Amino acid sequence: MSSSDPVAFLNGDFFLTSMAQIPAGDRGFLYGDGLYETIRVHDARPFLWEWHMMRFTDGAVSLGITQPQTTESLLGNVNELIRRNSMSESVIRIALSRGVGERGYGVTGEEQPTLLITQHSPPTTPAKPLSLVNTSARVAIGDPLAKVKSANKLGSILAKRDAVDQGADDGLILNSDGNVTETSSANLFWMEGGTLHTPPVSDSVLPGVTRRLVIELASALGQTVREESVASDRLQQADAVFVTSAATGVIAVGQVNGCAIGTHPLVYQLQNAYDAELAQHAAVGD
């Protein structure tokens, strides 16, 4: 396996990534008609696999896309991919589209889903706390797609582009009520008045797997956690802000819309608790 051309899994077979081909009529390419999961791999083991599969399965049901494999067989293929690529520290991406269908938005139910699994080097941990800014990206309150990690990520792309144009690391996506939901690629937490807060899923927030873990870790540390809507100007007054994602874990934020954000011991405690969960997972399996 070449480090520049790792092995991928596509529709039942393993290929070099450069040789894996998806038909031009695939609805995932044409319409973003699909979903995906990004999963951290530590010590050659997928982390929080069952939680990721719960969200993946729920998303597929919501979109009406048939999963071509059971989660057990999918795990077997993921483990084989990790073995073939010899990448014990990485990120796995599982993408499922409705597959090739008729032109147009209608579906017949006869489409054969496309399943693609790829493996990637983990992102570099930021050298300093992140800077976040408001962006023009918006999501509607009550949007049923907000809970699905869908293949259409134009909102996230817009948020990331806006952030880069403003010289920031990442962008905040607001909902139709004007409240912050998340960043382009991570869930959001903030510390205020001794309580840890995070926007509720009902604000059109993706129910992040790492978000779920951090809420449990904070509770285990004796920290009160409250789900609450938040405007960006309130974030600017927070005692501390951090973001979470499967690829990066817990990352501190140092600036929101140009306003400096302080630090709080809980952020470091949660980073250590997250690392401890990874170590335990490697020792006993998921």
13-65: per-residue pLDDT in tens?
A: 999 999 999 999 999 999 999 999 999 999 999 999 999 999 999 999 999 99
Instruction: Find the Cα–Cα–Cα–Cα dihedral 19, 25, 29, 35, rounded to 10°.
Output: -100
How far apart CA 148 and CA 40 sit, in angstroms, is 19
Distance in angstroms (rounded) separating the CA atoms of residues 88 and 62: 32
DSSP conformation class of 122: P
> What is the distance between the alpha carbons of residues 135 and 155, in angstroms, rounded to a whole number?
10
Intra-chain end-to-end CA distance of the chain, in Å: 27
All residues at 6 or more sequence positions from 88 whose CB lies less than 8 Å from its CB, including other chains: 41, 42, 43, 44, 82
| pLDDT range class, residue 224, cuts 50, 70, 90 | very high
For 9-22, the pLDDT digits (tens) are 999 999 999 999 99
Q: What does the pLDDT read at residue 93?
A: 98
Per cent of the chain over pLDDT 90 is 95
pLDDT digits (tens, 9 = 90+) for 156-184: 999 999 999 999 999 999 999 999 999 99
Q: Is there a contact between 111 and 23 (Cβ–Cβ < 8 Å)?
A: no
Dist CA 204 CA 175 (whole Å): 7
**List of domains in the chain:** 7-120 (3.30.470.10), 130-281 (3.20.10.10)
| Residue-level pLDDT at 3 | 61
pLDDT of residue 170: 98
Average pLDDT value over all residues in the chain? 95
Alpha carbon distance 255, 261 (integer Å): 5
Cβ neighbours of 86 (radius 10 Å):
12
Q: How many CB atoms lie within 10 A of CB 222?
A: 6
CB burial of residue 125 (10 Å; 0-12, 13-18, 19+) = exposed
For residue 31, the model assigns a pLDDT of 96
**Per-residue pLDDT for 2 more than 60?**
no
pTM value?
0.94
Per-residue confidence (pLDDT) for residue 282, from 0 to 100: 73
Q: Quick one: pLDDT band at residue 235, thresholds 50, 70, 90?
A: very high
Q: What pLDDT score was predicted for residue 4? A: 82
284, pLDDT greater than 80: no
pLDDT exceeds cutoff 60 at 286: no
Q: Which H helix or E strand runs over 120?
A: strand 112-120
For tokens 């974030």, the residue is 235
Rounded to whole angstroms, the Cα distance separating 52 from 271 reads 20
**pLDDT, tens digit, 9 for 90 and up, residues 79-125:** 999 999 999 999 999 999 999 998 999 999 999 999 999 999 999 99
pLDDT at residue 14, rounded to an integer: 97
